[in-house]
Amino acid sequence: GDSVTQMEGPVTLSEEAFLTINCTYTATGYPSLFWYVQYPGEGLQLLLKATKADDKGSNKGFEATYRKETTSFHLEKGSVQVSDSAVYFCALSDSGVSGGYNKLIFGAGTRLAVHP
Amino acid sequence: DGGITQSPKYLFRKEGQNVTLSCEQNLNHDAMYWYRQDPGQGLRLIYYSQIVNDFQKGDIAEGYSVSREKKESFPLTVTSAQKNPTAFYLCATTAGGYGYTFGSGTRLTVV
């Protein structure tokens, strides 16, 4: 079945460093891809998404490009801040649910810790 | 403001006890989902519902039950058959397309 694999954390960076969190996926169809962020004790918030190959999602300085040839959707940010410390989840939409209400399949999450 | 509300934020369950987690939304979304989050394992789908009075099992439905009597509400019951219920439970909704809205979660602990 469909699946998502993320790099293991924690990722520890100094403020203003460059961030990359790797995400690869396995899917039989043409899924949409997402990055969600979770701050401590809270639910998940959508960070960015891409719905087809070569699309680039971006938000709050974060970017990810849908690469069909490498089945990847790596998250990047040029200069991280302490406030970016959180857990980041890569996810894909499962098109197996009828009626247009797609299930999301998540990776295990990557914890990011940014120090001043 | 429209949103999704989960309650309680923290819940403690004794061995052999059933407990119910609440999820209420005022977004007028059709589909609702329950996910379980364990450390290092991401989120796993428990149950989902696309319409009132209808719901389907997800990947880890054993030991859980749900109901969908109203569009706004999708409560999750953790039964005594669930042998390892300690986890963080997240409810989500969508109106279709690809936008999920998540609640702030309920942390359940067995005591």
pLDDT confidence tier of residue B111, bands split at 50, 70 and 90 = confident
As a whole number of angstroms, the distance between CA A42 and CA A57 comes to 23
Q: What is the pLDDT of residue A96?
A: 52
Q: Is the dihedral of CA B97, B98, B101, B106 positive or negative?
A: positive
> What is the token pair recorded at A112?
């990011």
DSSP state of A79: S
User: Any chain A CB within 8 A of the CB of B60?
Assistant: no
| Cβ-Cβ contacts under 8 Å for A84 (sequence gap 6 or more) | A19, A77, A112, A114
Intervals of chain A under pLDDT 50:
97-99
B16 touching A, CB under 8 A?
no
Phi, psi of A100 (to 5 degrees): 85, 0
CA distance B58 to B43: 12
B-chain CB neighbours of A34 within 8 Å are: 98
Q: Checking phi first, is residue B16 left (phi over 0); if not, alpha (psi -120 to 50) or beta?
A: left
Q: A101 and B50: CB-CB below 8 Å?
A: yes
Nearest CA in chain B to A6: B42
d(CA A110, CA B7): 26
CA nearest B32 in A: which residue? A101
CA–CA separation, B12 and A97 (whole Å): 33
Using the Cβ of A57 and the Cβ atoms of chain B, whether some distance falls under 8 Å is answered with no
Report pLDDT for B40.
72
Task: Look up residue B94 and give its two tokens.
Answer: 């969508």
Residue B83 pLDDT level (bands cut at 50, 70, 90): confident
Name the residue in chain B with its Cα closest to that of A50. B98
- Is the CB of residue B94 less than 8 Å away from at least one CB of chain A? yes
From the list B40, B92, B32, the residue with the least C-alpha distance to A46 is: B92
A57: region left, alpha or beta (phi > 0 left; psi from -120 to 50 alpha): beta
Over residues B15-61, the pLDDT tens digits come to: 889 999 999 999 999 999 999 999 877 899 999 999 999 999 999 99
**pLDDT exceeds 70 at position B98:** no
The confidence score (pLDDT) of residue A14 equals: 97
Report the gap between the CA of B56 and the closest CA in chain A (Å).
Answer: 10
Q: Cβ of B97 under 8 Å from any chain A Cβ?
A: yes
Query: In 3-state terms, what secondary structure has residue A6?
Result: strand
For chain B, the distance separating the N- and C-terminal CA atoms, rounded to the nearest angstrom, is 36
* Residue partners of B56: CB distance under 8 A and separation at least 6: B47, B48, B49, B50
Phi, psi of A92 (to 5 degrees): -130, 155
pLDDT at A6: 94
Closest partner residue to B45 (CB to CB) among A32, A43, A103 is A103
Q: B33, B43, B45, B47: best mutation site toward chain A, by most A Cβ within 10 Å?
A: B43
